[in-house]
Amino acid sequence: MAKAKVDLEYDTATPVVPVAAPNGDLVQVTITKFGEGQVSTGKHVAGEGDEFAKRGDKMWVSKTVASSLEARGLAEAD
């Protein structure tokens, strides 16, 4: 049986805002030059692997994740 290939397209112009975080608080962070290629966006591209954030990308994360990314210099909380 042949498997059907499914191409999924993501609307990258519209930011994705999570509806919940473990502690209930969300923070928007901006990826720094040190975080480029180091921070996963949470998306997986079939046949290629995980997609990583680029410098200047904004993403919503929990406060604990934001603190960790800031401490490592990978992102700055907005």
Domain count, the chain: 1
Residue 21 covered by a domain: no
Residue 2 covered by a domain: no
Residue 59 covered by a domain: yes
Average pLDDT over residues 3-12: 51
pTM: 0.68
Report phi then psi at 48, rounded to 5.
-120, -35
Q: How many CB atoms lie within 10 A of CB 45?
A: 10
Q: Quickly state the pLDDT bin for 9 (edges 50, 70, 90).
A: low
Q: What is the pLDDT of residue 42?
A: 86
Residue 38 covered by a domain: yes
Q: What is the pLDDT of residue 62?
A: 87
Domain assignment of residue 34, given as a range: 26-77
Give CA–CA dist 63/20, Å, rounded. Answer: 12
Find where tokens 């904004």 sit. Answer: 58
Residue 1 covered by a domain: no
pLDDT digits (tens, 9 = 90+) for 16-58: 555 555 556 889 999 999 999 999 988 888 888 999 999 999 9
